[in-house]
Amino acid sequence: MSKVQTMIPLAPSHPDKDAPVMMAQVFDGRGNAIGATTLARAIELESKGKGVLTSEPSDGMVLRLNYVPTPDPAEVKQNAETVKARWRRHRVAQLRKRDGDFCFYCHAIMNREEMTLEHLLPKSLKASDSALNMVLSHKLCNEQAQEFSIAEKVRMRERNLVKILRGFNSDMERQVFLRDRSLW
């Protein structure tokens, strides 16, 4: 089993653009080709005991590392965030298509920046990230409902709807209001 350690940047820190640069192929500790680096950098890595530099008939200069580089932890974190952000964007778009732009709890129309993803069954119960378990809501409404059961969440939604409906006098107005909000 190869030793795994944090990636050492293969590119030279100050490349001289005008000088012809001799390159060396780089293989990791498992023998997989992982790119190329300058000969100067390869010599430097060899001098630090990171690998062995050889001249091979088929590949020219070759640096064989004695370890398997892993990506920089900061880079791994950044990639994970990008994946998560992409997932969130996709899920929000999916829920907007299904439910419209209304807050599940207070029924107000939200703009994109106000929308948060709300798990009906909380994540603390290892609940699914599936759209079946998710709605869109304001951050504040989301926080208010945080400790609620699903039944309590639905009641909170109903209470808010009743409050809204009481603000209207005629049945006609109410129907127009409901139709416009695409609630039913």
Strand, coil or helix: what is 111?
coil
- Determine the length of the chain: 184
Of 14-22, 32-40, 118-126, 132-140: span binding Zn ion (CB under 5 A):
132-140
- Determine if 145 is a binding residue for Zn ion (CB under 5 A): no
- Determine if 41 is a binding residue for Zn ion (CB under 5 A): no
Measured from the CB atom, is 45 or 106 closer to Zn ion?
Answer: 106
- Determine if 115 is a binding residue for Zn ion (CB under 5 A): no
Q: How far is the CB of 122 from Zn ion (least distance, A)?
A: 18
Q: Strand pairing partners for 65?
A: 51
How far is Cα 10 from Cα 38, in angstroms, rounded to an integer? 8
Which of 179, 173, 115 has its CA nearest to residue 141? 115
Measured from the CB atom, is 88 or 107 closer to Zn ion?
Answer: 107
How far is Cα 37 from Cα 10, in angstroms, rounded to an integer? 6
How far is Cα 102 from Cα 178, in angstroms, rounded to an integer? 12
Site string for Zn ion, 58-97 (x = CB under 5 A): ----------------------------------------
- Determine if 106 is a binding residue for Zn ion (CB under 5 A): yes
Q: Tell me the CA end-to-end span of the chain in Å, nearest whole number.
A: 61
Residues that bind Zn ion (CB under 5 A): 103, 105-106, 138, 141
